[in-house]
Amino acid sequence: MGRSQLEKQKTHEKIVETASKRLREEGLDGIGVADLMKEAGLTVGGFYKHFASRDDLVAEAIQSAFDSWGRKLEAEGVNPAKMTAADVADRYVSVYHRDNPGEGCPFAALTSDISRSGEKARAIATDGLKRNFGALASKAAGADEGERRRKAIMAFAMMAGGVGLARISSDEAMSAEILETVRGFVASIDQ
């Protein structure tokens, strides 16, 4: 790859990384292309050298957000396949995740936004759901695959919803109670 192509790729990744964080913080309609490009240290004119449309950027940013969990675990030397349901719950349903939406799961931050977005973003989110359900089902106890999958769906819905509800609450004790309750339920699916 030539120097200019490498620079273009790095710039592209910087835009996607910035968008991924900011969209989780502000919502899909909360920040415009001009502001994203400015934050990435670039001009608006350069946007279309990297993306055909804003929807394309949103789709890539959402994909990057989904992939960030695995990258973070890998950087910490953690094998996700060896994590228990309790391990997953401890990381996901945490005060840190509640307080840092820009670094967290797009489902906890953007579920309603993604449901109203374009087909590309929804397809990426659907793939993310499938992966998450499969990963949790592999950790769940149950008489058969169907029971393990049902537990996984309930657990993931509770985790994403629980973090969202904990973010909404202006009552710190209630917020902590939500997180603790959800963590306890999710930890129990492997029993």
Residues 25-55: tens digit of each pLDDT: 999 988 899 999 998 888 888 888 899 999 9
CA distances from 187 to 123, 135, 139, 158, 191 (A): 29, 14, 10, 12, 8
Handedness of CA 140, 145, 146, 147 (dihedral sign): negative
pTM of this prediction exceeds 0.85: yes
- HSE of 183 in the Cβ direction (CA atoms, 13 Å)? 19
In the chain, where are the structural domains located? 3-190
Q: Where are the alpha helices (DSSP H) in the chain?
A: 3-26, 33-39, 54-75, 85-92, 95-99, 106-115, 119-137, 145-168, 172-187
Q: 3-190: which CATH topology?
A: Tetracycline Repressor; domain 2 (1.10.357)
pLDDT beneath 70: ranges in the chain: 1-2
Supply the pLDDT for residue 1: 61
Supply the pLDDT for residue 46: 84
Supply the pLDDT for residue 182: 98
